[in-house]
Amino acid sequence: MKQPGHALPAPPTACDVPGRVAGRVDDLLVQIAHGSRDALGELYDLLAPLLLELLRSRLPDGADARSALVDGFSRVWREAPSYDPGPHGLDWVIDRVGREGK
């Protein structure tokens, strides 16, 4: 029984599950394909930490992973009009960002 003046604790916030992130990435890529710079910024905020670590693990020692990340997101911006919406959006982004030096 709830006593007066004692609120129940708030339920924990839901964590992002892969399906939700994948759906959000797809939505953002569609917006980017239509020229939304805000969507590009949101995609960067969502994925940059993960992709930066991926690049650091793939690049030779001394390579600038941050620069490669920026180059990769430039590719995402340029190639977004060719994106075919679907559940593969995260793979599509990883492919473009992972093409360091190409």
User: Exposure of 48 by Cβ count < 10 A (0-12 exposed, 13-18 middle, 19+ buried)?
Assistant: middle
Band (61; pLDDT cuts 50, 70, 90): confident
Handedness of CA 31, 64, 100, 57 (dihedral sign): negative
pLDDT at 75 over 60: yes
pLDDT at 3 over 60: no
Share of the chain above pLDDT 90, in %: 60
Q: Which residues contact 88 (CB under 8 A, 6 or more apart)?
A: none
pLDDT at 14 over 50: no
User: What is residue 11's predicted lDDT score, i.e. its pLDDT?
Assistant: 43
Dist. CA 83–CA 89, nearest whole Å: 8
pTM of this prediction exceeds 0.85: no
List pLDDT tens digits, range 18-50.
Answer: 567 778 999 999 999 999 999 999 999 999 999
